[in-house]
């Protein structure tokens, strides 16, 4: 229709105008995305600040005694025994308790000795019988001696013959020999009596040395034997006695460090039960053999002075001490190191090599400073620095291998 065509011709075409409006927005979006990508790219490629772990340099007095080795072990007793009996028997009395002090020879227990006493009575009766028989034979010998002398007189008068004299002499000699035999029998009977006396004594169990009872292992009515017999119904010991004056320390030292230990060396011991009590001690001996399974060598350490708080089988930590004299250091007239001088100690990982120089990296604010240092002998697994570093300064222990002077760092101590 003509009217509709005229109306359509009057409408405005907005598609071209919309397109002109959209393109600037798209262009702005592309520019924004590109800017963000560029920033992200530069952020990812920027040099990252390396992370380091640090430690604080600690002050130490060089020239005083220092710990050269730490070890742990146990308190042991050189004289310790589980007391048993020489014979198998039933226990009648146990006269000791844990913690009791006993003297050498003190009676600790008694076994049933009724059978031994019966046998002793029999042996004593046999001894009395043998002595009675000897008395009778001696009387007969005296009578035979009188007869012999009488026959000799009669033979001299030629009243009796020589044959009668020979018979009288034989009778006398026979009685003399019989007396010697009976005396031997008496000795045998006396020895038998002594044996049964010893059997009774063996049923009295005594302390072999003075000490303290640390365990009581049997009760009256139980059987005891010096050998393991009868299964769980037979005891092999009455009690365990420890000579407290023989207490010492035994430690196992790794054979790689045994060269730091010598006889007579000063030791500082610390019981696990009393961690704030330092006990003076010294090395008694290095046992001249190594444990091939554990690669250790046993070291015996003696206490300078015993104390009632020190008990057998207590755990103990020991620090082997040595005078920290540096090579070439002058000694006094007494042979000791001169007056102590200050130094610092740091972990071994803090020291690096720069050619022939020893260096450390000191953290100052957010950067590191390279320092050349002079090293001393190790002290307690740490490195001694004699110069170039002050106590309280923080040094890099773990960080990049290419760390350089002036690099920015971030401390991340764990």
Percent of the chain with pLDDT over 90: 50
329-357 residue pLDDT tens = 433 333 344 445 567 889 998 899 888 88
Per-residue confidence (pLDDT) for residue 413, from 0 to 100: 76
Per-residue confidence (pLDDT) for residue 62, from 0 to 100: 61
For the chain, what is the total number of helices (H) and then of strands (E)? 4, 25
Weakly modelled stretches of the chain, pLDDT under 70 = 1-30, 34-48, 61-66, 228-233, 323-342, 377, 379-380, 414
Helix (H, G, I), strand (E, B) or coil at 348: helix
What is the rounded CA–CA span in Å between residue 228 and residue 43? Answer: 81
Per-residue confidence (pLDDT) for residue 19, from 0 to 100: 54
Per-residue confidence (pLDDT) for residue 329, from 0 to 100: 41
264-322 residue pLDDT tens = 999 999 999 998 899 999 999 999 999 999 999 999 999 999 999 999 999 999 999 87
- φ/ψ region of 230 (left if φ > 0, alpha if ψ in -120 to 50, else beta) reads left
Per-residue confidence (pLDDT) for residue 330, from 0 to 100: 36
Q: Which residues, including other chains, have CB under 8 Å from residue 139's CB and lie 6 or more apart?
A: none
Per-residue confidence (pLDDT) for residue 336, from 0 to 100: 40
Asked if 148 and 135 touch (Cβ cutoff 8 Å), the reply is no
394 phi/psi in degrees, rounded to 5: -100, 125
Residue spans of the domains in the chain: they are 52-60+337-411, 66-78+244-323, 114-202
201 phi/psi in degrees, rounded to 5: -65, -35
111 phi/psi in degrees, rounded to 5: -105, 165
Per-residue confidence (pLDDT) for residue 334, from 0 to 100: 34
Q: What is the CATH number of domain 66-78+244-323?
A: 2.40.30.170
Let me know if 312 is exposed, middle or buried by CB neighbors in 10 A (0-12, 13-18, 19+).
Answer: middle
Per-residue confidence (pLDDT) for residue 226, from 0 to 100: 82
Asked if 193 and 120 touch (Cβ cutoff 8 Å), the reply is yes
The token pair that represents 198 in the structure block: 């010893």
Tokens 């405005």 map to which residue?
12
Fold type of domain 52-60+337-411: 2.40.420
Calculate ∠ Cα 87-90-92, nearest 5°: 115
Helix (H, G, I), strand (E, B) or coil at 30: helix
Q: Is the pTM of this model over 0.75?
A: no
Task: Give the number of residues written for the chain.
Answer: 414
The token pair that represents 315 in the structure block: 């755990």
136 phi/psi in degrees, rounded to 5: -65, -45
Per-residue confidence (pLDDT) for residue 322, from 0 to 100: 76
Tokens 């109306």 map to which residue?
7
In 157-245, which ranges are continuous DSSP H helix? 162-202
What is the rounded CA–CA span in Å between residue 360 and residue 346? Answer: 10
């Amino acid at each position: 229709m003509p009217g509709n065509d005229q109306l359509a011709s009057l409408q405005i075409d907005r598609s071209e105008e919309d397109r002109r409006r959209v393109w600037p927005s798209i262009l702005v979006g592309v520019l924004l995305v590109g800017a963000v990508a560029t920033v992200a790219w530069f952020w990812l490629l920027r040099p990252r600040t390396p992370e380091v772990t640090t430690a604080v340099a600690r002050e130490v007095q060089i020239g005083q005694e220092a710990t050269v080795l730490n070890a742990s072990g146990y308190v042991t007793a050189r004289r310790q025994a589980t007391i048993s009996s020489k014979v198998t028997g039933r226990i009648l009395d146990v006269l000791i308790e844990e913690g009791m002090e006993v003297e050498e020879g003190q009676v600790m227990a008694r076994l049933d000795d009724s059978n031994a006493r019966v046998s002793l009575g029999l042996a004593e009766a046999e001894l009395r019988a043998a002595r009675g028989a000897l008395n009778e034979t001696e009387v007969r010998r005296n009578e035979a001696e009188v007869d012999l002398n009488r026959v000799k007189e009669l033979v001299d008068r030629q009243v009796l013959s020589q044959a009668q004299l020979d018979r009288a002499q034989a009778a006398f000699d026979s009685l003399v020999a019989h007396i010697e035999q009976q005396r031997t029998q008496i000795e045998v009977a006396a020895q038998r009596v002594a044996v049964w006396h010893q059997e009774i004594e063996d049923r009295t169990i005594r302390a072999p040395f003075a000490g303290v009872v640390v365990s009581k292992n049997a009760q009256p009515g139980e059987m005891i034997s010096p050998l393991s017999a009868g299964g769980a119904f037979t005891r092999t010991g009455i009690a365990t006695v420890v000579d407290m004056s023989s207490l010492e320390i035994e430690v196992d030292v790794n054979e790689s460090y045994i060269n730091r230990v010598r006889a007579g060396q000063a030791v500082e011991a610390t019981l696990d039960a009393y961690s704030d009590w330092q006990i003076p001690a010294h090395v008694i001996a290095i046992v001249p053999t190594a444990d091939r399974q554990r690669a250790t060598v046993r070291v015996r350490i003696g206490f300078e002075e015993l104390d009632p708080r020190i008990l057998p089988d207590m755990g103990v930590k020991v620090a082997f001490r040595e005078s920290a004299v540096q090579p070439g250091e002058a000694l006094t007239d007494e042979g000791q190191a001169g007056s102590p001088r200050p130094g610092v100690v740091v972990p071994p990982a803090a020291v690096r090599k720069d050619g022939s120089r020893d260096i450390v990296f000191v953290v100052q604010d957010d950067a590191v400073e390279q320092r050349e240092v002079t090293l001393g002998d190790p002290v307690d697994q740490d490195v001694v620095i004699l110069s170039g570093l002050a106590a309280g300064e923080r040094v890099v222990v773990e960080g990049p291998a290419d760390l350089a002077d002036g690099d920015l760092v971030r401390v991340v101590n764990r």
